[in-house]
Amino acid sequence: MIVMKNHNTYKIIFFLLCQFCFAQVDVVYNDLVWSDEFDTNGAVDANNWFHQTQLPAGGSWFNGEQQHYTNQQTNSFVDSGNLNIVAKKESYTNQSVTKQYTSARLNSKFAFKYGRIDVRAKVPIETGTWPAIWMLGKNVNEDGGYFDATYGTSNWPACGEIDIMEHGITRSHPVNYIQSAMHTPSSYGSTSNIGGMIANSNIDSNYHIYSMNWSPNQISFLLDNVVYYTYNPSVKDANTWPFDKEQYLLLNIAMGGVAGTIASNFTATSMVIDYVRVYQNTTPDTKAPSSFTASVGAITGNSVELAMNATDNSGTVTYTVNYGSETISTFSASGIQKSIVIYGLSPNTNYTFNVSATDASGNVALNNPIVLPAKTTEDTTTKCSGTATQASQNSFSTGYNYSFETIGTDVKITFELLDNDKTGVVAYLWEQSPFSESQMTNVSGKIFTKTISGQTVGSTINYAVKFAYANGLSVTKYFSYVVGSSCSLGIETSAELKQYYYPNPVENSLHLKFLDGQNRIVLMDLLGRKILDEVVKSSHILNMGNFKSGVYLLKVTNSHGVQNLKIIKK
């Protein structure tokens, strides 16, 4: 029996779902441009799919897998409205190589740039199986792939790989944990760019929708229309973002290798796929962003805050800031103010920021660019260490400690992640300009360090840290440090512990008690925006009554050093 799907009903459902998706993804794609509903029983539709069967050089698939991929109908076929990809135990000889397992690896004959993929499927969970829904750049140089002969000019991972759904290759995770990963020249193989979640019902006996939403700004992964991981590197270049070219879809089940030992009683299993659907926005968008405004916010000795806002019918606006030879891009939902803080600036220096607004179709605001002059303040202190919460990518639930220490011409950089909700943490040191990434050494717990050598005393360096963890990553703000500087580490001493504040959480009056008669206090919100900066006496009452509820940071500086306090406003 052939099951026909009601596409009109689905369009209504998709429209309703996308009202929910809109708040989660940066661009909503509405127009169905390619699909396979698997409505015709028998062989896989050769107009849509290509069986990739050619073994790599050496006779084995990558990652120690043990299967032959075949074009046999026993390994891939359509029945009752579903595509069945079947991995089975059987001796099979092909290309003069005999293996004990067979499966199928399908390449879509359709490739695209930017859009959304939805795949509704049941996924096998047997030990040693590796089901995958994933994508490769159309330009991948992989002998035997559908596009290779015509377009294969780039080796992996320069072509970029987007893993929409994988199961079984991280054996520390429980059954029904599905994961997504990004492989780029900057991070591949055991990549740190990875996220995942546990499905709310068994993935082998229940259909779930595995989705990927790809825009010029970011790539988001969804399970049943809920985003669980977004890849959005702050620097997008050939190393981090080879995703400005067409990609195609792959469906397969691998056996063994990184998926572990195959059960001795294994006979066969299937990935059952109800449909594959690709969406883009096919109606040309010619409407430019409007009501574009930009202004200067808080200014420090090494940073300037810029606030931007514009509206656009696409739902998302991209803001590009140019200053000197530097370019920074960010984006925000239409009509929502976006603030960014540009770090690594020189104190007491005039800067000119050219801010532009565009949409995903490249339409530009009529008043582009808005020119914003700003002058950084005198910087009488050098940040050697402290505690912060600001992020240049994603966010922190608690924050992090940081320290910079000059040893001869070397600088030792140490960061500690304070978030208790992050597991499996690794850290990478980011140099701001020219951008580079290098792994840090774990000292203990969530403390990581790296020493950079051959620095010039008196020069200013700018670094941030990327913390990668299970289900995502967060990147700190960039810190400026003058090589050779030594300053208070901002760690509480026994004397500082005698300085106190109460009550916390606070509703109206926050009482402060200090050891010095002169104390500088700076209150900031979690975005690093300065709310007040004043000098107070040893006993002071800070009126918090007019502030919004939330978390604030209070920095206290006196002869005993620097103390950073987290204040919770009811």
Sheet of 400-407, strand order? 385-388, 400-407, 410-417, 447-452, 441-444
Phi and psi, residue 493, nearest 5°: -105, 175
Non-local CB neighbours of 29 within 8 Å, separated by 6+ positions: 114, 115, 116, 213, 279, 280, 281
437 is catalytic: no
In angstroms, what CA-CA distances link 424 with 162, 437, 470, 480?
21, 19, 6, 28
Burial status of residue 2 (CB atoms within 10 A of its CB: 0-12, 13-18, 19 or more): exposed
The single-letter DSSP state of residue 257 is G
The answer to whether 446 touches 416, Cβ cutoff 8 Å, is: yes
Q: Cβ of 447: how many Cβ atoms within 10 Å?
A: 16
Pairing of strands 460-469, 479-482: antiparallel
Peptide bond into 373 cis (omega under 30): no
Instruction: For residue 402, give the nearest of 410, 393, 411 by alpha carbon.
Output: 411
Non-local CB neighbours of 225 within 8 Å, separated by 6+ positions: 17, 20, 21, 209, 211
Non-local CB neighbours of 56 within 8 Å, separated by 6+ positions: 62, 142, 143, 144
161 is catalytic: yes
Q: Cβ of 535: how many Cβ atoms within 10 Å?
A: 11
Peptide bond into 347 cis (omega under 30): no
Task: Give strand pairing partners of 69.
Answer: 103
Instruction: For residue 476, give the nearest of 460, 489, 491, 463 by alpha carbon.
Output: 463
Instruction: For residue 376, give the nearest of 342, 402, 404 by alpha carbon.
Output: 342
The active-site residue, picked from 65, 161, 305, 496, is: 161
The single-letter DSSP state of residue 258 is G
In angstroms, what CA-CA distances link 181 with 134, 392, 429?
9, 21, 20
Half-sphere exposure of 379 (CA within 13 A, CB side): 19
Strands (E), 159-267: 161-166, 177-183, 194-198, 208-214, 219-223, 226-231, 247-255
For residue 569 the two structure tokens come to 């406003």
Residue with tokens 């840290």: 465
- End-to-end Cα separation, the chain, in angstroms: 62
Rounded CA-CA distance 497/514 in Å is 10
In angstroms, what CA-CA distances link 24 with 29, 138, 222, 231, 264?
13, 28, 9, 13, 43
Give the three-class secondary structure for 455.
coil
- The catalytic residue positions are 161, 166
